[in-house]
Structure 1
Amino acid sequence: MQDTGVRRIVVVSAQPALRSGAGEPFWFRYTVTALIRAVYRTTYADMERMEHLLARSDTDWTVVRPPYLTDKPGTGRYRTALEKNITGSSLSRADLATALLATVDDPAAVRHAIGVTGG
């Protein structure tokens, strides 16, 4: 990115990549999230490494952490929160795409992780 002059990157991670579980109920963090992280441990380890690399970079990055993704039609409705997860069961891929595009031009999102879920 540096060699080509690209400064902005928005990446998709996942809710379980947030180790602190900020924004999640206690019971959810120690049951559902723990089980998902155990089953997909290498996947979430890769996401954590990606997030740490971005945090140490000098790029204008944003990490978006959705919940379970579905193929349902987009609704145009979703909720976001800076630096924490939002409990919600799922989000359509179309609504994730809408949230990603909205994030690209949002200066408040630069160098932050954003939790997103269905509206």
Structure 2
Amino acid sequence: MIRGGRRAFPTFPRSMLANAPQLAWLHDDCRAWDIPAAPPSIRDVPRSDIPTLLLSGDFDAQTAPSNGAYTARTLSRSTAVTAPYVAHVVFADPPRSEIAREPPKAVVASARDRCRASPT
């Protein structure tokens, strides 16, 4: 990832080109708010046949875009879509934000179209 970032943005510092290091500061927030650790089962691989739409942004430094396709492997009725030029919160970025207001049957087709659309 760093090599690709350097090719695309040769003047950016290394810290801007790397994925966030699992957002280590979140652990400090959990301690400050006295939130207990999650159980080990949090790492279990999800398996389901519930229709699932996995939205990823190709500029997401928190969860890599490849995570959508990776997660879809064990969700038999899932669709993974990666939105270009979007960071972490794909569903809040127009025109993708319209997806949340659509009837469930229309969501997958709409997500493919809207997520792949150029940003406005």
Q: Which bracket does the TM-score occupy, shorter chain normalised?
A: 0.3 to 0.5
Q: Which has the higher contact order (CA 8 A, sep 6+)?
A: 1
State the TM-score, normalizing by the size of structure 2: 0.35
State the TM-score, normalizing by the size of structure 1: 0.35
- Larger radius of gyration, structure 1 or 2? 2
Task: Write 1 or 2 for the structure with the bigger share of strand.
Answer: 1
